[in-house]
Amino acid sequence: MRQPGLTESINTARRSFFDSGAEPRGLVPDNILASWRRCRQQGLLADACPDVMPVERHALNQMQEQYEALRRLCRPELQTLYASANQAGSIVILTAPDGFILDALGNASFLDKAARVSLRAGSPWGESVSGTNAIGTALVERRAIEVRGGEHYHAPHRVLSCSASPIFDPRGEVVGVLDLSGEASMHHLHALGMVQLAVEQIEHRLFEHHFEGADIVRIQPDPDLLGTAREGMLVFEAHRLVAANRHALRLLGVDWGELGKSRYDELFASALPRPGSLTSMRCQSGEMLHAKRDALSHNSISSRVPRHAQTRAKRSPEPVFSPALDAEINRSVRLLDADIPLLLQGETGTGKEVVARELHKRSQRAAAAFVAVNCAALPEHLIESELFGYLPGAFTGARREGAPGLLREADGGTLFLDELGDMPLGMQSRLLRVLQEREVTPLGGGRSHAIDITVIAATHRDLAGAVARGEFRADLYYRIAQATLRLPPLREHDNLPSLIQQLWHALGGEQIPIKLHPDLLEELSAMPWHGNLRQLVGLLRGFLALGEKGSTLTRDDLPAELRSPQLTQAPAPTRLAGNLHDIEQRAIDVAIASCQGNVAAAARKLGVSRSTLYRRFSEQSSGD
């Protein structure tokens, strides 16, 4: 199917990039532009035909024999796509993990045309050899890619329109690539979807093959899709996640890097289902999923976790929002989807990260990464390397292989900058430049990397006041705060008893069951909650851990410090004098004195980070 204007747009982009050396933003997809940059850095000549010759027949036979298990596994999908490809004048291709073509089947006429540019069995199609192409670029990006006509790096390849997806094994290793290629002038709009569907089926069968008879946990929001290629599949060993498919990782909001690291109770707030049963499970994000477990094994989690510990597994409450806040979240999602940065403002503990994750979940980028950066928790000397990444050997102590940085990890998704008000001024200027140019340059130099991110920032500080005092850059403030959402403190909630009951239910208190006496509920509702939701949820979790099954908790079960009258009542208003900076400094002095010089304890008392206090000490010293 022809796409009017597409060829002209690509040709304009090629002239801009290859002839003028300019960046043709908006004319080609970001992943194509990033690939062009990589190929140019490697010295590939765009107008030249790659010097690629297919291997001799005996070498191809050896390669095919080496990957015979993969070829056999993919045969049903290859045959299905072959029927469609033959009719549509296209070919279907299977490659080895390095992009070496193992099989090419399909329309005889197009097979001959593709062979003229070495798109045939026995040829390597890695990006470093054949430039920007669906096979090679999918291997670099580790995701499905479509490359149409002139989007290919090498001019002779513009006759092709290709759609490819890597095939992952249950441990996140690429085992091959499936590709559908045809005439550029007759691009198949559904080619990429067909390839992705076929790869899902291959990966599902590959998982079953790897873990036949093992203790597989299958998850899906729709119970009718359990047992199909659309289900998520997980395997745990000694409490740790050791294998998963892409659907499971997406549903849990994690990536392949969590394999071997994430524990079961860090992913789920419910116990494992009984073998063979269909049940509901709550993720730590609060989302409910349907789940089925294949079989018991003696190293499975449920056989190692005591029954009462399973019942009271660590839970994160399902997000609970008032109707007014829920409406504001929906409004803010529309702004984020329009690429308008959002600033969340609220006191410490009001749930800014919870709201940020909910905004991401409701946005158009929900399937991509959510990367949270606590600007106050990162040591000042590490903020730059953590955010922007670094090249190997960029500084003493740097990892040998370098690091991409959190900004690049958020590419395609949402970047959450928590406690932005505590970011040092020097770093603010570099962050502003990245947000303006949408490019990241790692420490140690090297090329810049384009990024596509939605930005949500959060702070408990008055940023406008900080700008007026020269403590925060005005240009960064106006870049970040194009839209704002204020999260009210807990004491302003319209119906605290109802909220507390909802949180108690979300934490699992009613399922155990443990009840909250009305008098206790009244007492909790009257408290000032200076730590807001964080303080309340912490108290409820304590109740959950200490309460006896079937019991009703009363005022007597409150911790001693909360039963003390002087702490359960709101502090009397104090007459304050002086400017805001002086008032803050006096509050810090009082906190330090009351904590006998313990900075960490004083920071907790004030609801700020230790780095904020140390920065204030430094400012005070320089002022003296």
Q: Which of 518, 565, 559, 511 is nearest to 536 (CA)?
A: 559
d(CA 179, CA 130): 15
| Shared-domain flag, residues 56 and 131 | yes
Q: Work out how many domains the chain is built from and give that number.
A: 5
At 481, is the secondary structure helix, strand, or coil?
coil
At 317, is the secondary structure helix, strand, or coil?
coil
d(CA 226, CA 220): 6
Final residue of a structural domain among 454, 469, 486: 486
| Shared-domain flag, residues 73 and 139 | yes
Tell me what pLDDT residue 49 has.
Answer: 84
Tell me what pLDDT residue 123 has.
Answer: 92
The H-assigned helical ranges of 338-419 are 352-362, 380-388, 406-409
The H-assigned helical ranges of 95-215 are 108-115, 127-130, 134-141, 191-210
Tell me what pLDDT residue 600 has.
Answer: 62
Q: Which of 206, 208, 203, 178 is nearest to 193 (CA)?
A: 178
pLDDT > 80? residue 422: yes
Tell me what pLDDT residue 301 has.
Answer: 37
Tell me what pLDDT residue 594 has.
Answer: 63
| Shared-domain flag, residues 459 and 540 | no
Tell me what pLDDT residue 574 has.
Answer: 44
CA distances from 422 to 293, 342, 517, 615 (A): 45, 17, 41, 9
| Shared-domain flag, residues 123 and 264 | no
pLDDT > 50? residue 72: yes
* Helix axis angle, 518-526 to 496-507, nearest 10°: 110
| Shared-domain flag, residues 272 and 390 | no
- Look at residue 2 and tell me if it is in a domain: no
State the residue for tokens 């140690």. 444
Pairing of strands 160-168, 174-183: antiparallel
What DSSP state is assigned to residue 15?
I
d(CA 270, CA 541): 15
Task: Count other C-beta atoms under 10 Å from residue 607's C-beta.
Answer: 16
Lowest-confidence region among 54-58, 151-155, 448-452, 577-581: 577-581
d(CA 284, CA 267): 5
d(CA 219, CA 254): 14
Lowest-confidence region among 366-370, 408-412, 581-585: 581-585
Average pLDDT on 158-174 reads 94
Q: What is the pTM of this model?
A: 0.49
Tell me what pLDDT residue 92 has.
Answer: 93
Q: In what helix (H) or strand (E) does residue 613 lie, and over which residues does it extend?
A: helix 610-623
pLDDT > 50? residue 314: no
Tell me what pLDDT residue 548 has.
Answer: 82
| Shared-domain flag, residues 168 and 120 | yes
Final residue of a structural domain among 255, 281, 311: 311
The DSSP string of 198-263 is HHHHHHHHHHHHHTTTS-EEEEESSGGGTTSTTSEEEEEETTEEEEE-HHHHHHHT--GGGTTT-B
- Look at residue 332 and tell me if it is in a domain: yes
Q: In what helix (H) or strand (E) does residue 338 lie, and over which residues does it extend?
A: none
What DSSP state is assigned to residue 27?
T
What DSSP state is assigned to residue 299?
T
- Look at residue 110 and tell me if it is in a domain: yes
- Look at residue 16 and tell me if it is in a domain: no
pLDDT per residue over 490-525, tens digit each? 988 888 888 898 888 878 777 778 889 999 998 898
| Shared-domain flag, residues 328 and 194 | no
Q: What percent of the chain has pLDDT over 70?
A: 83
| Shared-domain flag, residues 437 and 349 | yes
| Shared-domain flag, residues 481 and 496 | no
pLDDT > 90? residue 481: yes
Tell me what pLDDT residue 617 has.
Answer: 57
Spatial contact of 383 and 449, defined as CB atoms under 8 Å apart: no
Spatial contact of 264 and 301, defined as CB atoms under 8 Å apart: yes
- Look at residue 196 and tell me if it is in a domain: yes
State the residue for tokens 């979240």. 329
- Look at residue 558 and tell me if it is in a domain: yes
- For the domain that residue 558 is a member of, what is the CATH number? 1.10.8
pLDDT per residue over 528-576, tens digit each? 888 888 888 888 888 887 778 888 999 888 887 777 454 334 444 444 4
Query: Exposed, middle or buried, 353 (CB in 10 Å: 0-12/13-18/19+)?
Result: middle
- Look at residue 27 and tell me if it is in a domain: no
* Confidence band of 622 (pLDDT split at 50, 70, 90): very low
pLDDT per residue over 322-340, tens digit each? 888 989 999 999 999 999 9
pLDDT > 50? residue 142: yes
The dihedral built from the CA positions of residue 390, 391, 394 and 396, taken in this order, carries a sign that is positive
Q: Which of 60, 106, 69, 62 is nearest to 85 (CA)?
A: 106
- Look at residue 56 and tell me if it is in a domain: yes
Backbone angle region of 532, left / alpha / beta, with phi > 0 → left and psi within -120 to 50 → alpha: left
d(CA 2, CA 185): 6
Final residue of a structural domain among 176, 207, 238: 207
Paired tokens of 25: 């933003």
Q: Which of 217, 204, 371 is nearest to 297 (CA)?
A: 217
Spatial contact of 178 and 167, defined as CB atoms under 8 Å apart: yes
Q: Which of 431, 449, 427, 334 is nearest to 381 (CA)?
A: 427
Q: Output the average pLDDT for the chain.
A: 83
Q: What percent of the chain has pLDDT over 90?
A: 35
Residue type, 504: W
d(CA 370, CA 356): 9
* Confidence band of 276 (pLDDT split at 50, 70, 90): confident
Q: How many residues in the chain? A: 624
| Shared-domain flag, residues 248 and 384 | no
Spatial contact of 142 and 249, defined as CB atoms under 8 Å apart: no
- For the domain that residue 444 is a member of, what is the CATH number? 3.40.50.300
| Shared-domain flag, residues 338 and 472 | yes
| Shared-domain flag, residues 78 and 166 | yes
State the residue for tokens 């009017």. 4
Domain of 104 in residue numbering reads as: 33-207
At 360, is the secondary structure helix, strand, or coil?
helix
